[in-house]
Structure 1
Amino acid sequence: MSWQIRIEHSTGYRYASPVVSSYNEARIIPQTGESQLTLEATVRTEPAASTYRYWDYWGTQVTAFDLHTPHTELVVTGRSVVQTAAAPPRPADVPSWDQLTDDSLADRFVEFVRPTVSTPEHPELRAAALELAAANSPADFLPAVGDWVREKLSYRPGTTEVRTSAVEAWEQGVGVCQDFAHLALVLMRAAGMPARYVSGYLHPSADAEVGETVSGQSHAWVEGWLGTWLGFDPTNGIPTGEPHVVVARGRDYGDVPPMLGVYSGGTSTSLGVTVAVTRLG
């Protein structure tokens, strides 16, 4: 079974005084891959700017543009239509823990087994990861990590920011999907499982009605290596599937920000983000 989803993602900035020059990158175009096909994708800016696209080191399509006309507002809107499918089944020959922690596999996926600023090492988290790994096969480890993360974190918007590390969120006991994903990555990597951060969109209803436009959300989840990359959404405690739309992958949020840029001019006084999603079929 597959879904077809239309997504409109709009990000707006307002400045206290005119911005005279800016250089920007947007990572809001969904990827095409094994379980997902992007049928249409456009990125528009107000004021209008010429854009160009490239793929970054992690395989994410980036829309870059610069503006040199004075402006006090900037709106960047991505519109796309994506066909999604159920995640691939778990392979029959899932690697053992000994295979996952072998040096050759660690060398192959070195960027996805090492800690980062957002997913740092911590002795208590490492101990928890090893305890979970001892009690679960690699095949059962991902959902066990999701259960552990949801026991330690309460979902509460506005309590963390993009620079909050997994350890900081864990110590506070609250966070958003980004923090759930970062904390899961700490545990997965501490146990020796290659793990990567995924950003994208989530349709809020698993049984969405065709044709109904609803308020969606940017979302984050994780993928673990089990002979192939398998996705899991620790915030909701479910494997990824048709409602999940992949935009970018990396080591952590720092590799996949939806908007990134520098500018010269007035300070930013507001930022508004809206995501509208429609299941088309």
Structure 2
Amino acid sequence: MDSLKFHVLYEAKYEYEDVVTSNDNTLKIVPYDGDNQELLEENVDTEPKGYKTRYKDMFGNIVYRIKVIEPHYSLVIRSESSVNVKLKEMEDCMLPCQIEDETFLNSSRLIDVDYFKPIAKELLKSSKSLDDLVKNTVEFVRNRLKYKEGITNVDTSAKESFEIGMGVCQDFAQVTIGILRASGIPARYVMGLVNDNPISTHAWVEFKSPSGWIPVDPTRRKFYNIAYVKFAIGRDYYDTPPILGTFVSKGKGWLKKLTVMVRRID
């Protein structure tokens, strides 16, 4: 099995129009440690520094919670890590494949599987194998959705973005997941970084094959041997936001700058 080693950086800088007396953030900005990834080292911190705890959630995602109580007008959240990403071969199977995983077959808050069953039924007619189904599904989604920012948001469901016909990587991923689940194939949402000059986090899909979880990126039309760096997996976006937090201040706050980097290590 081929593998690639990467140095990974995620840094977000927030600014506030008035003093912040408390800032509490939950972070999923460390590479996933499991499946096709091996986390080699990690360092997560903030400026100003805060009280830090680390744990794994129900999906195995590494989660940091950092609470800053030192008064501040800006906050930097930074993660640096190195990870080994293994390229896993997809083992095909003739449909119907007997692959079980109830968690990633059922509907979730943003993905209504029943809504996509009529579409799945039609795609299954023209698909003999799992490989056929995945590729037919991606082509269908790309023909039905136009990539456009500012139309959808993180709370937009797969059904809504499909009916709008526009969206971003989150929408492409969730619609693809909905169709695959409706076809009887376990599929999960992935958040992380692409390995070719990323400018922000990206969303893609992993489906379960006889050889395990295999990546596919419907937004960029990439299949299987994708050496992206995944930060978190889940049923849909709600299980995977990179930063989720609250702060106490009389003024507003905003993301001033986001810096991400994935660099190959020999």
Instruction: Tell me the TM-score normalised to structure 1 length.
Output: 0.86
The verdict on how the C-alpha distance between 1:159 and 1:279 changes in structure 2, with shifts beyond 3 A counting, is farther
Q: Which runs of 5+ in 2 are unaligned?
A: none
Alpha-carbon distance in 2 for matches of 1:216, 1:243: 16
CA contact (8 A) 1:121 1:186 kept: yes
RMSD (Å), alpha carbons: 2.0
Shift in Å at residue 202 of structure 1?
Answer: 0.4
Matched with 2:70 is 69
Alpha-carbon distance in 2 for matches of 1:266, 1:192: 50
Matched with 1:199 is 191
Alpha-carbon distance in 1 for matches of 2:97, 2:49: 54
Matched with 2:258 is 273
- Equivalent residue letter for 2:208: W
Q: SS in structure 2 opposite 1:263?
A: strand
Q: Which runs of 5+ in 1 are unaligned?
A: 205-213
Q: Deviations over 1:82-124 (max 9, x none)?
A: 22222x22236x3742634xxxx3xxx222112122112464x
Matched with 1:58 is 59
Alpha-carbon distance in 2 for matches of 1:240, 1:62: 27
Shift in Å at residue 216 of structure 1?
Answer: 3.9
Alpha-carbon distance in 1 for matches of 2:259, 2:164: 27
Alignment of 1:82-121 (within 5 A): 82-86=83-87, 88-91=88-91, 94=93, 96-97=95-96, 99-100=98-99, 105=100, 109-121=101-113
Shift in Å at residue 71 of structure 1?
Answer: 1.5
Shift in Å at residue 231 of structure 1?
Answer: 1.6
Matched with 2:225 is 241
Matched with 1:133 is 124
- Equivalent residue letter for 1:218: T
CA contact (8 A) 2:158 2:178 kept: yes
1:170 and 2:162 matched: yes
CA contact (8 A) 2:47 2:75 kept: yes
| Larger deviation, residues 54-63 vs 75-84 | 75-84
Shift in Å at residue 162 of structure 1?
Answer: 0.9
Alignment of 1:226-237 (within 5 A): 226-227=209-210, 228-237=212-221
Matched with 1:208 is none
Shift in Å at residue 133 of structure 1?
Answer: 1.6
Shift in Å at residue 139 of structure 1?
Answer: 3.2
Matched with 1:18 is 19
CA contact (8 A) 2:113 2:181 kept: no
| Larger deviation, residues 261-270 vs 2-11 | 261-270
| Larger deviation, residues 151-160 vs 48-57 | 151-160
CA contact (8 A) 2:90 2:224 kept: no
The verdict on how the C-alpha distance between 1:191 and 1:145 changes in structure 2, with shifts beyond 3 A counting, is same
Quote the sequence identity (%). 34
The verdict on how the C-alpha distance between 1:217 and 1:262 changes in structure 2, with shifts beyond 3 A counting, is closer
Q: SS in structure 2 opposite 1:217?
A: coil
| Larger deviation, residues 38-47 vs 261-270 | 261-270
Q: SS in structure 2 opposite 1:130?
A: helix
Shift in Å at residue 267 of structure 1?
Answer: 4.3
Residue 143 (structure 1) aligned to one of 135, 140, 146: 135
1:264 and 2:255 matched: no
Alpha-carbon distance in 2 for matches of 1:165, 1:274: 28
